[in-house]
Structure 1
Amino acid sequence: MAQENSTVKPTQAELTLLNVLWKMGPATVRQVHDVVSITQKTGYTTVLKILQIMHEKSLVIRDESNRAHVYAPANSQTQTQSSLIKDLISKAFGGSTSKLVMRAIDDSTSEQEINDIRQLLNSLEK
C-alpha cells in the first residue's frame, strides 16, 4: 500500500533520481539511467528498482500507457525541499529556523549569497 508522500522522506539515491526528473521532466527508466550514469556508475536495473520503490512510496507517478513506463515526480522540487527542511529543523535544530540559518551562514557564504539573503529578508519584512 502506498504511503502518504508528504511524510515520506526520499533517500539520497531517490533524491538523485528526483533531481534528474525535476530537470528533465517525465522520463523513461532508460532516459533517467543515461543521465545518472554520466556522473556515477549505476546499473539500469538499479535505477529501475529505485523508481519502482519510489512509485510504491508515492514519490513518483508512473504512466503505464506505453511499453516503456514514464516516471514523473509526484511533488515539485520546492515542496520536497520544504518538507526536508522542516524535518531537519525539527530533528536537528529543536524546531528553530534561526538556528538552522545561523549554522548555514558561515565564512564560506559568498557576498552574492549574503546579498540574496538580505533581499529575501527585506521582501519578507514588507
Structure 2
Amino acid sequence: MSEHLIKPTEGEMEILQVLWKKGECTVREVFEELNKKDIGYTTILKIMQIMHEKGMVDRNTSAKTHIYKALLNKEHTQQHFLNKMIDTVYNGSTARLVMQALGNKSASREEIDLIKEYLEKLEK
C-alpha cells in the first residue's frame, strides 16, 4: 500500500508517535509510554494489529514478544496532516494557523526566536 494513501486515525497517530520516538517497541512498551488509564492494553494490541494489516507498522514475530516499528515516514505523515488541517480548518491560510497557534499557547522565548530565525530565512 502506498504511504500517501494511508491515513492514520488519532489513536494510530498516538501509537506512531511512540514508535517514531523509540524506534522499535513491544505492545507493552507502547501501552506504558501512552500511560492511558482509559485505553486498555488489549485495545492498544488490537489497534497495532490493525495498523500492521494496513501496512503502517512492521511486526517482528521471531521472538515470543512481538516487536513493532513504524513503516510510515514521520515527516511525510506530519506534513500530510498539517496540509489537511490548513486546508480544512483554516481555509488554506497558513498565516491563520500560525496566528491561532501562537495566540492559544504561550510560546517560549526560544521558540519565538526559532520562528523569527525561520521567517528571516524564508524572506531571503
The residue type equivalent to 1:81 in the other structure is Q
Q: 1:28 aligns with which of 26, 29, 52?
A: 26
| Maintained 8 Å contact 1:29/1:70 | yes
1:96 shift after superposition: 2.2
37, 51, 67: which one aligns with 1:54: 51
Map 1:1-126 → 2, pairs under 5 A: 3-36=1-34, 39-41=35-37, 42-106=39-103, 108-126=106-124
Q: TM-score if structure 2 supplies the norm length?
A: 0.81
Deviation at 1:81, TM superposition (A): 1.2
Q: Between 116-125 and 57-66, report the one with greater CA deviation.
A: 57-66
Richer in helix (by share): 2
Unaligned runs of 5+ in 2: none
Question: In the TM superposition, what is the alpha-carbon distance from 1:94 to its structure 2 partner?
Answer: 1.9
SS of 1:105's partner is helix
CA shift, 1:85, in A, is 0.1
What percent identity do the matched residue pairs reach? 43
CA RMSD of aligned residues (A): 2.1
Q: SS in structure 2 opposite 1:104?
A: helix
Listed as ranges, the gaps of 5+ residues in structure 1 are none
Separation of aligned partners in 2, 1:34 and 1:60: 18
